[in-house]
Amino acid sequence: MYIPCWRTTLKRNIFIIIAFLVLFGQTFYAQTVNTDSYNTASVSIKFYDKTMYYPNSTDTNPVFVHISVKNNGSDTLRFKLADDRMFSLDFNAYTIKNTQLEQTDSLIRKRTTNQTVYFREISLENGEEYSFVENLKDYLIIGEPSIYYIELNFYPELYKSNKIKLVSNRLTLEVRPSPSVASSSIIPIKSDTAEILKPEEISPDKVVEQTITARQKSLWDQYFLYMDIESMIERTPAAKRKFRSVSADERQKMIETYKSDLMESRIDGDIVAVPEKFQIEKTVYSQTEGSVLVTEWFNNRTYYEKKSYTYEVRQRDGVWQIYDYTVVNLGTE
């Protein structure tokens, strides 16, 4: 029996349309199921070993962020996690003017290059969570000191088109001017030679010992060498608010004024008091934070005043710095 050509074409078109609708429905259904399965999942972020953050310096001054994926539902949560985490998450950062930071070249290059993405499937029961740590600077270019607002997008089915994502809480990141910019414009040098003073990678107790000794000899350049002046200025809430609200130039003026006031003993009399002798009693420190307990004696002609100092220290780029202190009076001798 002869079938006109137009009928054959019509049947073919109907078949194609039906096949397309079936395929589209399956894809839509699969995506809906995947999306619903993550409704009880959550992702949260916090700073890991928080310290002083500066622009650039990805390796020497990283911004480590602790990331946790949690199952808040009753059913088992399953998701994929890439061996290279750049295929599992994105960091977004915005300035106070709502300008978004750009992604690093390495991140863009990886995602635009054809390659096999290796991953493993993680299963979490009710209340369980999976955590790991990533360096924010591997993902975003932080080139200027400023206040940034950070959030995370986590892709439980990996980074790809039409991706499912979980959005984290938001963190506030303060990036300060780099030490070379914020430091004094006068280059410290040793008084007996023309050698430029540079902080060394010495232990916390040696840092405190050299600082006290420098004060005993009125060697101010050496005295300030291991001191975090910005943190010392911010020891009181009022000074902290003022210091963080002014421009970079005004901050520099505040730093110079603070150092001048210390040298003239107009402020913070305890930190610039000159002991006749001292003894380091105890030093405790982790990889990034520490404290040094010191007993100091001050000669008041007819008697000695005895005080206990606790110097708080923090490591930055391998160098320990004093950023705070407390004093306890121990009486007289």
Residue with token string 């402020």 = 267
Q: How far apart are CA 316 and CA 59, in angstroms?
A: 12
Domain assignment of residue 21, yes or no: no
Q: Is the pLDDT of residue 31 over 70?
A: no
What pLDDT was estimated at residue 91?
96
Q: Which of 49-63, 82-96, 180-194, 301-315 has the lowest mean pLDDT?
A: 180-194
Does 154 or 186 have the greater pLDDT score? 154
Domain assignment of residue 8, yes or no: no
Phi, psi of 231 (to 5 degrees): -70, -35
pTM of the predicted protein model: 0.49
Q: Would the CA dihedral through 45, 47, 49, 55 be positive or negative?
A: positive
Of 326, 267, 276, 279, the C-alpha closest to 298 is 276
Beta pairing partners, 172: 149
Tens of pLDDT, residues 98-121:
889 999 999 999 988 888 899 999
Same domain, 166 and 184: no
- Total domains, the chain: 2
Q: Is the pLDDT of residue 193 over 50?
A: no
User: With bands split at pLDDT 50, 70 and 90, how would you rate the model's confidence at 8?
Assistant: low
Domain assignment of residue 169, yes or no: yes
What pLDDT was estimated at residue 16?
54
Q: Which of 25-34, 57-66, 92-101 has the lowest mean pLDDT?
A: 25-34
List the domain range (segments joined by +) for residue 267. 180-332
Q: Is the pLDDT of residue 62 over 70?
A: yes
User: With bands split at pLDDT 50, 70 and 90, how would you rate the model's confidence at 24?
Assistant: very low
Q: Would the CA dihedral through 249, 312, 237, 328 be positive or negative?
A: negative
Other C-beta atoms closer than 10 Å to the C-beta of 96 total 9
Counting beta carbons within 10 angstroms of the beta carbon of residue 228, is it exposed (0 to 12), middle (13 to 18) or buried (19 or more)? buried
Which of 176, 201, 220 is the C-terminal boundary of a domain? 176
What pLDDT was estimated at residue 227?
92
